[in-house]
A and B are shown apart, each in its own frame.
Chain A
Amino acid sequence: MLEGPQFLGHIVHHAVADPREDATVLMGVSTGHLGPTVMRSGDGGRTFEEAVTPPAFREGDPHGRAVKKVFWLTPGHVSEPATWYAGGSPQGLFRTEDAGRTWAPVDGWNDHPRWGEWAEWPEEGTPDGSMLHSVIVDPRDPSHLYLGLSGGGVFESTDGGSGWAPLNRGCAADFLPDPEPEYGHDPHCVRMHPLDPDRLYQQNHCGIYRIDRPDKVWTRIGDNMPRDVGDIGFPIELHPRDADTAWVFPMDGTDVWPRTSPDGRPAVYVTRDGGDSWTRLDAGLPERAWFTVKRQAMTLDGHDPVGVYLGTTSGEVWGSADEGGHWTQLAAHLPEIYSVEWAGP
């Protein structure tokens, strides 16, 4: 059953239900006229109210930055139950300690002396604007954080967000002249496995990668994808109970980057061996269709077997109850889909 719409005409870049308790849902929202904000629900998404102090840079910011959109939301560590992080465009990081009512800049990132080098600023090469996404909190240690910049790369903090270092070795950046730049890459989506927090996967603008910390070099597991499909895409999702299993939705990154399904034949690909091999999953998906699936628009549920869901920019939601084995269309004729999330149970 389809309910809604809520906030019709607003762009909801990310909607996230709090996995730590049932009631809180946050949305990063903007419209063309009103700028960015966060909407929060305390009743599981039935009603929303706006943050009292939305994410914003400090007044008098030396770079003159103002948030244009709140692009990403990440619930904080389980030991900090009201804490969330938000990533923005420009590439700022913000934090709330009261479940989204009031937000403050994370100065260690936003005012880092190298921020101007690492971030896309003031020029923004990314078509929809620069963005900070994939804020990751280590379940073993709330002060161990990762984040992704499109463009800019992956960065790590081990002190709660004061100090940061790039973590991009091994990743390609085909759009830069330096074959091994320290930063400037374009991760599209970075995920940490919840049961094996040393393992991260990354769907990058230039390939699919895996790293097992404390290694500092990413391995391009997308090299094991079929050559005619390639390993370009936006989302990557990890099996909640198996660190070797991940799903991606490849897109056409050839020629002028159509960002649609390669050869107009949509398919999800899954690896069950950490990226050594990949299997095509297209049963039930249209034979010919030019889907684009954004980085927040693919998600999993907590069931066994795992349900896999994706939303297209052409307003369709597709789901599989058997880990991608068979797909059915759950909704169509919606506006452009930016974010799909499972809210349980």
Chain B
Amino acid sequence: MRIPTPLRSYTGESKVVQAEGATVDGVLRDLDRRYPGLRFRVVDEQGRLRRHMNVFVGLEHVRDLDTPLDGVDEITLMQALSGG
């Protein structure tokens, strides 16, 4: 999983980290176990992806956290363009 700069304070500045799961949400939950607090920076308490966070499974942009990974082994978290 590729980690954008605003989240690297949670991963000890690592740009790429490993996590396991069958869906995007599963991977994020595993990531939160490894790097506590990270998931809440990406997903709000109602399970919605934060507005200015983007997730790419491989090269596909997804908003549904239940998206299955179907063998794709690279997820990229990116901060969305949010003005200026």
State the A residues within 8 Å of B (CB).
31-35, 37, 50, 52, 54, 56-61, 64-67
Q: Are B46 and A32 in touch, CB under 8 angstroms? A: no
The verdict on A33 contacting B52 (CB below 8 Å), with A50-B37, A52-B36, A54-B40 known, is: yes
CB distance from B27 to the nearest CB of A (A): 18
| Chain B 34-72 interface mask (CB, 8 Å, partner A; 1/0) | 001100110011111010110000000000000000000
Interface residues on B, range: 10 to 19
Nearest-CB distance from A333 to chain B (Å)?
A: 20
Knowing A31-B6, A33-B79, A33-B80, say if A67 contacts B44 (CB, 8 Å).
Answer: yes
Q: Which 10 A-B pairs have the closest CB atoms?
A: A66-B44, A56-B45, A34-B41, A33-B79, A33-B52, A66-B46, A32-B82, A35-B50, A33-B6, A66-B45
Number of CB contacts from chain A to chain B under 8 A: 46
Q: Name A's interface SS.
A: loop
Q: Which of B37, B47, B79, B80 contacts A59 (CB 8 A)?
A: B47
Interface of B is mostly: loop
Q: Note all chain B residues with C-beta closer than 8 A to A59.
A: 45-47
Which chain B residues border A33 with CB–CB below 8 Å?
A: 4, 6, 50, 52-53, 79-80, 82
Answer yes or no: B7 CB below 8 A from chain A CBs.
Answer: yes
A66 CB contacts on chain B under 8 angstroms? 44-46, 48
Docked CA distance A59–B48 (Å): 11
